[in-house]
């Protein structure tokens, strides 16, 4: 693949222009960061795994009526995507309490959240991606009230589809982060990636709270076998039809 102009390099991906103005090329890196990039490392093969897994999940979501930015995969760690304006809001959906929710609220890890919790964070590394309220979203003009309502309903719909999909893989979808973009017709579409970098995934075959972890928490918490865990998730995901 001959690269066109580099538009942006993030922590896990590089974005390039293509000869088609409506299409961008995403290169998935092996670089891993955590705690707002205070911890850095490499997960060998992660770029390919996350690209393949995201492609499969995006196509599966499209088939379920969820609009995504996915176009195709010209190689194992490259994805062509529709050019959209990214909304600077990280939408987190939680089915079980974990991570920052437990730290901030004292809820025990694994507490069931039914209905699922939907949270909005400001996508801004300098500010440490702070938690937003709906009033803050309005004051900061990050999204209109209609867009916020749509982000919430899209996120909940995606959670239903993804939770059922991962259930068929013998994996519990604990929580995950989504990013959305706005296309030329002002339509919200799912963007970024869906991978063990952005989801908490627990292996249902394991009860041990460390052994069951199949996601980036293995890297964050130095649990070891990070590559193997990512690969096992990919194998199970690819074994499920779209
Ligand atoms: N997440 C992410 N990017 C971020 C923050 C969170 O992909 O910048 C994902 C994270 O992997 C988890 C979910 O969103 O699946 C909820 O993360 P949480 O708020 O618990 O933060 P963390 O524990 O990662 O600090």
Q: Are strands 13-17 and 23-28 parallel, antiparallel or unpaired?
A: antiparallel
- Is the CB–ligand 1 distance for residue 50 below 6 Å? no
Task: Report the residue among 175, 191, 202, 218 best suited for mutation to probe ligand 1: largest number of ligand atoms under 8 A from its CB.
Answer: 175
Nearest atom in ligand 1 to the alpha carbon of residue 36 is: 8
pLDDT band for 3, please (50, 70, 90 cuts): low
Considering only the top CATH level, what class is 6-82?
Answer: alpha beta
Sheet of strand 70-75, all strands in order from the earlier edge strand to the far edge? 6-9, 13-17, 23-28, 78-82, 70-75
For domain 85-225, the question of CATH label 3.40.640.10 is answered with no
Cβ 176 under 6 angstroms from ligand 1: yes
DSSP letter for each residue of 129-144: --EE-HHHHHHTTSS-
Within the chain, what is the greatest distance between any pair of CA atoms?
Answer: 50
Give the C-alpha separation, 210 to 214, whole Å: 9
pLDDT at 1 over 90: no
Alpha carbon of 59 to ligand 1 centroid (Å): 23
Domains 6-82 and 85-225 share a fold: no
**Core vs surface per residue 27-52: b (16+ CB within 10 A) or e:** bbbbbbbbeeeeeeeebebbbbbbbb
| Cβ–ligand 1 contact at 177 (below 6 Å) | yes
Q: Is 183 in the pocket of ligand 1 (CB under 6 A)?
A: no
* C-alpha of residue 76 to centroid of ligand 1, in Å: 25
Average pLDDT, the chain: 97
What are the CA-CA distances from residue 27 to residues 34, 44, 85 (Å)?
19, 15, 18
- Residues with Cβ < 8 Å from 23, sequence gap 6 or more? 71, 80, 81, 82, 83
pLDDT beyond 60 at 2: no
Domain spans of the chain? 6-82, 85-225
Nearest CA to ligand 1 atom 5: 177
Residue 102 has pLDDT above 70, yes or no: yes
How does pLDDT run across 125-166, given as a tens digit for each residue? 999 999 999 899 999 999 999 999 999 999 999 999 999 999
**% of the chain with per-residue pLDDT over 70:** 99
Q: In this structure, are strands 89-96 and 39-42 parallel, antiparallel, or unpaired?
A: unpaired
Whether 218 lines ligand 1, by a CB cut-off of 6 Å, is no
Q: Compute, in angstroms, the gap from residue 34 CA to the centroid of ligand 1.
A: 9
Distance from Cα 219 to the centre of ligand 1, integer Å: 13
Give me the helices (H) in 169-221, please: 217-220
What is the 18 CA–ligand 1 centroid distance (Å)?
30
């Amino acid at each position: 693949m001959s690269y066109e102009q580099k538009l942006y390099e993030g922590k896990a991906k590089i974005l390039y222009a293509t000869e088609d103005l409506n299409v961008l090329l995403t290169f998935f890196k092996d670089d891993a960061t955590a705690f707002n990039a205070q911890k850095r490392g490499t997960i060998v093969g992660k770029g390919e795994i996350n690209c393949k897994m995201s492609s499969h999940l995006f196509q599966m979501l499209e088939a379920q009526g969820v609009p995504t930015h996915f176009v195709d995969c010209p190689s194992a760690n490259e994805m062509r995507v529709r050019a959209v304006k990214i909304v600077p809001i990280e939408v987190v959906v939680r089915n079980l309490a974990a991570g920052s929710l437990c730290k901030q609220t004292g809820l025990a890890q694994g507490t069931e959240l039914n209905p699922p919790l939907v949270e909005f964070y400001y996508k801004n590394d300098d500010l440490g991606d702070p938690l937003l309220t709906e009033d803050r979203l309005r004051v900061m003009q990050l999204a209109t009230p209609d867009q916020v309502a749509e982000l919430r309903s899209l996120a909940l719909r995606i959670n239903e589809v993804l939770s059922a999909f991962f259930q068929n893989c013998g994996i519990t979808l604990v929580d995950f982060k989504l990013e959305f973009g706005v296309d030329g017709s002002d339509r919200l579409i799912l963007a970024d990636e869906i991978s063990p970098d952005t989801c908490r995934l627990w292996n249902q075959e394991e009860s041990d709270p460390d052994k069951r972890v199949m996601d980036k928490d293995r890297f964050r918490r130095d649990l070891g076998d990070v590559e193997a865990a990512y690969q096992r998730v990919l194998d199970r995901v690819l074994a499920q039809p779209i």
